[in-house]
A and B are shown apart, each in its own frame.
Chain A
Amino acid sequence: SQTIHQWPATLVQPVGSPLSLECTVEGTSNPNLYWYRQAAGRGLQLLFYSVGIGQISSEVPQNLSASRPQDRQFILSSKKLLLSDSGFYLCAWTDLAGGGLRSTGELFFGEGSRLTVL
């Protein structure tokens, strides 16, 4: 069965410090990978998605970046955090070659990472 893990679960960082959140998926190959952020009063906002190694699409301009160095690894980074980067970050995957999933766009989410920037 497929599983998704992301870490760290919680992070408290000062303004201006770097960030690295990591996400890995197991049990599938060539998944589509996504980073979402849940900020207070704003629902779930898509930040980045990737359809393959080294392929990153950005949905929201910001000081964050994403990378996909391996097929099942997705990393969210920042060189200098802002206060407004605080939120709950969620990694997700879908397998569009999986038949049924192709028709729904259903995403499977990781456990989330709570980032607090002070």
Chain B
Amino acid sequence: DQQVKQNSPSLSVQEGRISILNCDYTNSMFDYFLWYKKYPAEGPTFLISISSIKDKNEDGRFTVFLNKSAKHLSLHIVPSQPGDSAVYFCAASERGGADGLTFGKGTHLIIQP
């Protein structure tokens, strides 16, 4: 039973345009959502998070939107840059995350020049 789903294995976007990565979840007990970025052969690094009591969080070029009724969140990157090419994981936690995060399968974002 996959509780966090990223249905697009890959996404190709032109440099300078907006990248939109999507994530759906099924567990209504999740209260925090996070996005991680991962380069090959490296550990994931935290990008941005959002609490379930909010519907938007912005940090520079990165914005995360949360639609609780649809159990859907998205990560917007604008403008997209070549260094953004990586695998992006959506993750969720409940009860403060003591027992770990639940991750999606990831979306490979490719920024084309």
Q: Taking CB as reference atom, which chain B residue is nearest A92?
A: B43
Q: Given A104-B34, A109-B44, A112-B43, verify A32-B101 contact (CB < 8 Å).
A: no
Beta-carbon contact of A102 and B46 below 8 Å:
no
Number of interface residues of A (CB under 8 A): 30
| Min CB–CB distance A94 → chain B (angstroms) | 7
A104 to B51, CA, bound (A): 8
Beta-carbon contact of B34 and A106 below 8 Å:
yes
User: Total A-B residue pairs with C-beta atoms closer than 8 Å?
Assistant: 73
Number of interface residues of B (CB under 8 A): 26
| B80 proximal to A (CB < 8 A) | no
Q: Which of B36, B89, B99 has a CB less than 8 Å from the CB of A57?
A: B99
Q: Given A34-B100, A44-B103, A94-B97, verify A105-B32 contact (CB < 8 Å).
A: yes
Chain A contacts to B: CB under 8 angstroms: 32, 34, 36, 41-46, 49, 51, 57, 59, 88, 90, 92, 94, 96, 102-112, 114
